Amino acid sequence: MTDFDTRRLAFGDALRRLRLAAGLSGKQLAQQAGWTSSKVSRVETAKQSVSDADVVTYCRLTDAADDVVAELRQELREIRIEAASWKRQLRTGNRARQEYSQQLEHGAERIRLFEIALVPGLVQTAEYARHVFEVVADLHQSPRDVTESVERRMSRQSVLFSPRTAVEILCSEAALRHPIAPPQVMVAQLDRLLALAGMSTMRLAILPLDAQLTAVPLHGFVIIDNLALVETVNTEMTVTEAGELARFHRLFDALSAASLADAAARSLLQRLIAHYAAADQP
């Protein structure tokens, strides 16, 4: 059993002790909360994920003190951050994470993606993606399932052609200028972006280095319907609260307004292709 598993079990036991101290059976608490009778048992034995709302309900029905409520909610936040850590997500490689992304994207009505340092995964070529996954494996010291991860990432890109999904992709010019791969790979990658820039089923835009910003992006992010994902060095955060999602949409709108699209984006891509092509000459 890992330290993380032990921590989750201890959290469930803390909820169980609250219930017992209040003189409630699992069935009684479930009835008052409007839950199935099995949920209480599964939550208390860490067999089911618990939400912040679940914790608040437990505390309300057991008359927990305010400081206990605050401690439990903070502990849950830390557990969720640890659960989303790259150490845990990538412990078997990157393929599973790509499959999770595809599950989120499949059938989504709207995807808005902003990237600062890399070409966004949904528009990467296979060879560019291969270099990215190798770098990721080195950083996180995770299994190098590069071929399988690339295959899943390429499969994800079918969403770009789905009439059910509105896709908006915005990347910084810096992301295109970082040569994470050899010049010939960068040329092929930018040529793919050039082709995608003319598609009617999606919007591809570039935030130029000399853009006048009205909002400052501190990191990349993706908004998929009613959730946003933010990657940090060690973990990934999931945002679902409506007010916070609105903040992400405002930032995306501000960056999009300062970006280049259509002919202007294609012109910039052509200049960058020429730059990398020249660098590839002996």
Cα dihedral 122, 128, 130, 133 sign = negative
Domains, in order of start, for the chain: 3-83 (1.10.260.40), 93-279 (3.30.870)
3-state secondary structure of 60: helix
Placement of tokens 């997500």 in the chain: 89
Q: Residue 186 and residue 179: Cα distance in Å, rounded? A: 7
230 phi and psi, to 5 degrees? -125, 125
Contact 160, 122 (CB under 8 A): yes
Q: Quick one: pLDDT at residue 3?
A: 66
φ/ψ region of 230 (left if φ > 0, alpha if ψ in -120 to 50, else beta) reads: beta
Amino acid at 208: P
pTM of the model: 0.76
Contacts of 177 (CB under 8 A, 6+ apart): 209, 272
Digitized pLDDT (tens) for each residue of the chain, 282 residues in all:
566 778 888 889 999 999 999 999 999 999 999 999 899 999 999 888 888 899 999 999 999 999 999 999 988 887 877 766 667 767 777 788 889 899 999 989 999 999 999 999 999 999 999 999 999 888 888 888 899 999 999 999 999 999 999 999 999 999 999 999 999 999 999 999 999 998 888 999 999 999 999 999 999 999 999 999 998 888 788 888 899 999 999 999 999 999 999 999 999 999 999 999 998 776
24 phi and psi, to 5 degrees? -105, 140
Sheet holding 202-207, edge to edge: 236-239, 227-231, 221-224, 110-115, 166-172, 202-207, 260-261
Amino acid at 238: T
CA angle 119, 98, 142 (to 5 degrees): 90
> What number of other Cβ atoms are within 10 A of residue 225's Cβ?
15
Q: Quick one: pLDDT at residue 50?
A: 86
> What number of other Cβ atoms are within 10 A of residue 95's Cβ?
20
Q: Residue 64 and residue 191: Cα distance in Å, rounded? A: 60
- 197: which 2 tokens? 């820039």
Most distant CA pair in the chain, distance: 79
> What number of other Cβ atoms are within 10 A of residue 89's Cβ?
18
Q: Quick one: pLDDT at residue 2?
A: 63
Q: Quick one: pLDDT at residue 155?
A: 95
Q: Quick one: pLDDT at residue 190?
A: 98
Q: Residue 68 and residue 57: Cα distance in Å, rounded? A: 13
Residue spans of beta strands (DSSP E) within 48-190? 110-115, 166-172
Give alpha helix (H) positions in 50-165: 52-61, 66-83, 86-89, 95-105, 126-140, 146-156
Contact 103, 110 (CB under 8 A): no
Q: Residue 225 and residue 16: Cα distance in Å, rounded? A: 35
In the DSSP assignment, the letter for residue 218 is: -
Q: Which of 175, 185, 197, 170 is nearest to 270 (CA)?
A: 197
Q: Residue 93 and residue 95: Cα distance in Å, rounded? A: 6
